Structure 1
Amino acid sequence: MPAYAIAHLRTPNPHPEVLEYLERIQSTLDPFDGRFLVHGADVDVIEGEWPGTVVVLEFPGAEQAHDWYASPAYQEILRLRTDHIEGEAIIVQGVGPDHDSAALAEGLRADSAP
């Protein structure tokens, strides 16, 4: 099951250290089969507020995503971004092609029944 690392970058900033981070990040992703799905695109806000931009990385699974984030190679460059851009980052497990939200709702309803 794929997993995703998602970053909400509230204050994107082309600081020289951020540019170095961008130059170096792909080599930290490659050993974990990570790839960019969304990277700094314009955000079309349709509900609420969303300052900044978003980055979405895909990994084969949550273990690879966590291993990438904790890797010495990524930890070595992380501050190049976090020292200059405010934001949040999460890792989240994806769903499979057979995911059924109606079945999920049915299970949740059954679990909450008295």
Structure 2
Amino acid sequence: MTAYALAHLRPGTLNEQVLEYIERIQSTMDPFGGRFLVHGKEVEVLEGPFPGTLVMIGFPDLERARAWYASPAYQQILPLRADHVPGEVVLAEGVPADYDATATATALRTAAGL
């Protein structure tokens, strides 16, 4: 199942370290099949506050996404970004092509006794 690394990066300081991080991150993702899906683009905020930007990286599965984040290559460059650009980073597993939200709602109703 496809998995995603999502980062909500808040406004920070653009400097040599951040630029080095951006220059080096792709090579840390390549061995794990990671590729940018969203990176460096303006976001259109429709609801709620959302200062900063969004980064989305796709991986073939959750195991490879976890392995990338924990890899020595990524951990080596992570402080270049994290020390200058704060934010939240999460991993999430995607849903199958035949996913049906109605079935999920039914299961939630049943579990909640509604």
Question: If the TM-score is normalised by the length of the shorter chain, which range does it land in?
Answer: over 0.9
Answer whether contact 1:43 1:54 (CA < 8 A) is retained. Answer: yes
1:13 aligns with 13
Answer whether contact 1:12 1:53 (CA < 8 A) is retained. Answer: no
Structure 1 residues 3-48: Cα deviation after superposition (integer angstroms, max 9, x where no partner): 0000000114321100000110000000000000000210111101
**Partners in 1 of 2:13 and 2:29 — Cα distance?**
22
1:77 aligns with 77
> Among the aligned pairs, what percent are the same residue?
56
Look up the SS of the partner of 2:92 in the other structure: strand
Structure 1 residues 48-104: Cα deviation after superposition (integer angstroms, max 9, x where no partner): 110000100000011000000000000000000001001110000100100000010
* Unaligned residue ranges in structure 1 (runs of 5+): none
Question: What are the residue-to-residue correspondences of 1:10-49 with 2, within 5 Å?
Answer: 10-49=10-49
Following superposition, the deviation at residue 113 of structure 1 comes to 1.2
Look up the SS of the partner of 1:95 in the other structure: coil
Task: Name whichever of 10-19 and 91-100 sits farther off.
Answer: 10-19
Letter in 2 for 1:65: A
Would you say how many aligned residue pairs link Structure 1 and Structure 2? 114
* Unaligned residue ranges in structure 2 (runs of 5+): none
Query: In angstroms, what is the RMSD of aligned CA positions?
Result: 1.0
**Partners in 2 of 1:99 and 1:12 — Cα distance?**
37
- TM-score, normalised to structure 1, is 0.97
